[in-house]
Structure 1
């Protein structure tokens, strides 16, 4: 659960205790917008920053793990065993069970000119870190981010809000009873646009958040 200093920071920002809060991320890459739309929004970054450890991990994966996998698969072929996965359907499913080509697996509604699209165009401009804090107050929803490239959701107390919506300007939709680890929720706006968020951090905060918005 979020530490007291996170709660204190949230209280200072909201001017009241949050009804619920949760750190989350965009679960899939942001689609590439039309060049004119991206340019009009300031040509902000559309991908999060990556800590150097990820690059090290990538190097290890491609130069050590991949060759070992290839050698292992070659041994299976020479031994007369079918390669793993052979004969399976090429249509793969996402961890949530949705087909990978299912349009319902989109990040947002698809209209860059509406509220969700405009929010996405500036999403990573507020912080290179992929995590965002959603704060629920009695009459509004706030989105906040930490300026740091790396952070701990339980300890980060330097976050600041970059968007605030009244209860009439945004509502949160979530299905109850979602499996932990795959839970998602949507921010829906009056213009019909929506944004899906996933990778909810801290089980206690996530469970309380989902119970609150599903009530």
Structure 2
């Protein structure tokens, strides 16, 4: 659960005691916007920035482990048996035919989530959700955002840190603020832990879905507050 410093900062940001709060993330990759839309929004980042240790690990993997693996594979002699040259094929079953299109109109796994909004938002970059999504990483390289619910407003805040602990990050600042006539939160209480999501739905009809809710107590309290 968020500690006293986080709650104190939340009260300062909102100017009142928060009804509920929760750290969350965009739980799917942000779709690629049209180039002109992205350019008009300042061509901000659409992915988070990794910690420097991540880049060190990637370099070590590609320049140490990959060469060692290739040398090991090349040093092994191929195991070829006589049966592999045409004999011993009597027990083999023929290759399965091309499955063709999915039955009953089902979407293949590799094609899911490729619509205009890919399950992240409604797909219209010109509306509130799309514009907020274009600015998601502009004020913080970290994907986590704190959603604060007040008596008459919804506030989205972010910490400038690259790495943060949701229970102790008390340096967040407002990214966007909406009155309850401009935005509302849609969520269901009792969702399975680790899979819980909720939506920010705006007055212009656009919506943005987030997940990866941090801190079970905060998440459960938040979902109960918005579903009541």
Which string of whole-angstrom CA distances, capped at 9 and with x for unpartnered residues, describes residues 76-133 of structure 1? xx7xxxxxxxx9x9xxxxxxxxx56055851111000000001111110011111100
Report the equivalent of 2:151: 138
TM-score w.r.t. structure 1 length? Answer: 0.81
CA drift of 1:174 comes to: 1.0
Structure 1 residue runs without a partner (length 5+): 72-77, 79-86, 90-98
1:124-135 superposed matches below 5 A = 124-135=137-148
Report the equivalent of 2:18: 18
TM-score w.r.t. structure 2 length? Answer: 0.76
Specify which of 209, 217, 220 is matched with residue 207 of structure 1: 220
CA drift of 1:214 comes to: 1.1
Specify which of 193, 207, 212 is matched with residue 194 of structure 1: 207
Report the equivalent of 1:106: 119
**Cα 1:156–1:177, aligned 2, differ >3 Å: closer, same or farther?**
same
1:36-185 superposed matches below 5 A = 36-59=36-59, 64=65, 101-102=112-113, 106-185=119-198
**C-alpha distance in 1 between matches for 2:12 and 2:135:** 24
Which string of whole-angstrom CA distances, capped at 9 and with x for unpartnered residues, describes residues 145-178 of structure 1? 0111111111111100010000010011112321
The structure with more radius of gyration? 2
> What's the C-alpha RMSD, in Å, of the aligned pairs?
2.8
Question: After the TM superposition, which segments of 4 or more aligned residues of structure 1 sit over 4 Å from their partners?
Answer: 59-65, 102-105
**Cα 1:64–1:208, aligned 2, differ >3 Å: closer, same or farther?**
farther
SS class of match (1:43): coil
